[in-house]
Homo-oligomer: A and B are copies of this chain.
Amino acid sequence: MELAELVRLTFAEDLGPGDITTDSCVPTDAEGSGRIYAKQPLIVSGLLAAAECFRQQGVDLVAAVSDGDRVIPGQDVARISGGLQGILRAERPALNFLMRLSGIATHSALVVGAAEGKVRVVCTRKTTPLHRSLEKAAVRHGGGHNHRHGLYDGVMIKDNHIIAAGGITAAVRAARERVHHLVRIEVEVEDMEQLREALAVGADVILLDNMDDRGLAEAVAITGGRAQLEASGNMDAARIAALKDHGLDVISVGGLIHQARWVDLSLRLDP
């Protein structure tokens, strides 16, 4: 869904048939201005969504920082100005986007930082329905990377696919015949035998799920650079720090998104 449509639906949800408080109390021609500022240290994400909220209510937003910037408590994130009715209607939806997404960026930075740039840390498909693009951008704002966006832009062959296809070799060949040549094929393996079969059939990426350190090391040695290696399974900052030098290419962490909490931002109108 495009951002403009997402925001339109957000207002449909919140406004319904009308903002009965503002309609009653605020003249249609009243103007106002104000600032959105951080109430805790955080990394900003969601400025485009917030700006779109205000835009759809006829209010201008001028960003004071960029997505991905680190701000301190009290620092301005944006200034807004326009009709007072529009400001009051856009305030909550805009902050809901900003607080959620900045929370994800801030949390991602913590986890990703443990890798010290030595291994690519990526998020997964564990995202909030209809917010995937925004959440994946928030991960990037926090210094992380993304995995495939959905089921259509990457092949990930898991255990049930392997069983249904009749083995890793058959599954990889079927996928290669079907998909276009700009898409890589990833296979999830459970042991070294499966790893060897995946390498033999030319899998491009191999997912090592829930392996211990020893298993990961063995997989790296067996692979010898013939495929990209991705590790996953209950990854947090500590485990990533421990694994960052193991020669893995990618570590995937659903928690970049789903273990993040909202951070605190506020809008204050100018007196």
Q: Show the binding face of A for B, using Cβ within 8 Å.
A: 1-2, 6-7, 9-10, 12-27, 30, 32, 84, 88-89, 92-93, 95-97, 99-100, 120, 122, 125-133, 140, 145-157, 160-162, 164-165, 170-171, 174-175, 177-186, 204-205, 228, 230, 249-250, 258-262, 269
Which of B1, B9, B179, B249 is A12 in contact with, Cβ under 8 Å?
B1
**What are 17 of the A-B contact pairs (CB < 8 Å)?**
A9-B130, A13-B150, A14-B125, A16-B153, A18-B151, A20-B155, A21-B161, A23-B178, A24-B155, A24-B178, A96-B126, A96-B129, A126-B262, A130-B130, A152-B153, A155-B182, A181-B184
- The residues of B that contact A204 with a CB separation of less than 8 Å are 182
- The residues of B that contact A155 with a CB separation of less than 8 Å are 20-21, 24, 182
Q: Is the CB–CB distance between A13 and B152 below 8 Å?
A: no
Which of B25, B92, B129 is A157 in contact with, Cβ under 8 Å?
B25
Where chain A touches its partner, the secondary structure class is: mixed
CA distance A147 to B42 in the complex (A): 28
Least distance between A271 CB and chain B CB atoms (Å)? 9
CA distance A207 to B232 in the complex (A): 34
**Nearest chain-B residue to A153 (Cβ)?**
B153
CA distance A100 to B100 in the complex (A): 14
Which of B18, B145, B230 is A152 in contact with, Cβ under 8 Å?
B18
| Given A18-B133, A130-B6, A151-B21: A183 and B181 interface contact (C-beta under 8 Å) | no
